[in-house]
């Protein structure tokens, strides 16, 4: 099988080449995003391996189908960038990596909380300039604070367990409750209760119609004053303009985002010599209480190894018409 990769970075190539020694697929790598602009480069390929910001809408899928493409393997968990209905209609099988390392993302969410709270990024720079003053660095104890977790799937569950380890009270909201968390004493409450009682809110639900702009003017108005909001899930969960208003009015005290609605024009690239035209991200980055990381929550050695193994295993299963060990890996 020949697999054509898009949005490839050096680390993708390193891990996929290593893992492919057990599969012997033909791998072809492109650095560019997948979208209508690049379809002409694809030749005699059986599968596309795509990432979070690749475009797999009906138009792209139809062109891929005409080129004989049989499989799409997403090397990520979220699949909001794929038109699954179109894939089904065209007979293209689609897989994803449902749970490569939930701890990688959950630990990054906690890293964002600790950084925003204890301001270690500011302390690091300050001390290097021989400024040993503590003014402006005061944080708060996580112990006995209330942390709200929205979405308690693989990542939300891992995050809730970590947060519980700090001695915080954990509130959870999900459309389905996880018994394992209930057994740990984690309480499921309504969304309104979670919003109004939490000192910190961390988002771990997928982006879909029902969750688009879940955090908006109205939901922010229900939150505690000075709340900390963390989003390592998908940018579209947050109405960024409403969050900026919340930061300006000081209703939101801290914001940590690893994902951003318009991230496909920015993230995973070095734009240090470029004029960024996106005024919204520039405004966000101007707040001293906002931490932006560029979709790096998944980025651990363990996760990259697991992503490569799971992606190539799915393609091998498709090809051999095998049963999938984890049915959640198959989307179509």
Residue 94: in which H helix or E strand, if any? strand 93-95
Minimum CB–partner distance for residue 171 and ligand NAD (Å): 13
Minimum CB–partner distance for residue 82 and ligand NAD (Å): 13
Nearer to ligand NAD, 53 or 152 (CB): 152
Minimum CB–partner distance for residue 217 and ligand NAD (Å): 18
Binding site for ligand NAD (CB under 6 A): 77-78, 99, 102, 105, 150-156, 173-176, 204-207, 210-211, 232-234, 258-259, 295, 297-298
Phi then psi for residue 42, to 5 deg, are -85, 125
Residue 252: in which H helix or E strand, if any? strand 252-257
CA–CA dist 238, 275 (Å, integer): 25
Cβ-closest position to ligand NAD? 153
Per DSSP, the three-state class of 14 is helix
Nearer to ligand NAD, 35 or 78 (CB): 78
CB within 8 Å of 289: residues ≥ 6 apart = 116, 247, 253, 254, 255
Nearer to ligand NAD, 45 or 156 (CB): 156
Nearer to ligand NAD, 69 or 259 (CB): 259
DSSP 15-65: HHHHHHTTT--EEEE--SPPSGGGGGG--S-SEEEE-TT--B-HHHHHHHH
Which residues form the catalytic set? 234, 263, 295
Minimum CB–partner distance for residue 39 and ligand NAD (Å): 26
CB within 8 Å of 279: residues ≥ 6 apart = none
CA–CA dist 152, 214 (Å, integer): 16
Nearer to ligand NAD, 105 or 329 (CB): 105
Minimum CB–partner distance for residue 98 and ligand NAD (Å): 6
């Amino acid at each position: 099988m020949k697999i054509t990769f898009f949005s490839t970075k050096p680390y993708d190539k390193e891990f996929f080449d290593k893992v492919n020694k057990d599969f012997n697929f033909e791998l072809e790598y492109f650095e560019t995003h997948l979208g209508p602009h690049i379809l002409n480069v694809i030749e005699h390929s059986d599968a596309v391996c795509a990432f979070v910001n690749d475009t797999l809408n009906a138009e792209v899928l139809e062109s891929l189908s005409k080129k004989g493409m049989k499989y799409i393997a997403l090397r990520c968990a979220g699949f909001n960038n794929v038109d699954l209905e179109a894939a089904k209609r065209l007979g293209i099988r689609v897989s994803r990596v449902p749970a490569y390392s939930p701890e990688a993302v959950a630990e990054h969410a906690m890293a964002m909380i600790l950084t925003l709270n204890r301001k270690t990024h500011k302390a690091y720079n300050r001390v290097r300039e021989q400024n040993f003053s503590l003014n402006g660095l005061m944080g708060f104890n996580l112990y006995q604070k209330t942390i709200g977790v929205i979405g308690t799937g693989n990542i939300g569950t891992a995050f809730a367990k970590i947060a519980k380890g700090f001695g915080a009270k954990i509130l959870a909201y999900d459309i389905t409750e996880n018994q394992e968390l209930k057994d740990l004493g984690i309480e499921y409450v309504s969304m309104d209760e979670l919003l109004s009682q939490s000192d910190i809110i961390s988002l771990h639900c997928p982006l879909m119609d029902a969750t688009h702009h879940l955090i908006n003017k109205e939901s922010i108005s229900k939150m505690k004053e000075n709340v900390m909001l963390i989003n390592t899930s998908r940018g579209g969960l947050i109405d960024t303009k409403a969050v900026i208003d919340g930061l300006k009015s000081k209703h939101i005290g801290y914001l940590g985002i690893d994902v951003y609605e318009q991230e496909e024009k920015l993230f995973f690239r070095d734009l240090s010599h470029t004029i960024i035209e996106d005024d919204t991200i520039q405004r966000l980055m101007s707040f001293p209480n906002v931490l932006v990381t560029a979709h790096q929550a998944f980025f651990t050695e363990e996760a990259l190894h697991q992503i490569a193994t799971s992606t190539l295993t799915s393609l091998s299963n498709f090809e051999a018409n095998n049963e999938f060990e984890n049915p959640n890996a198959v989307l179509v």
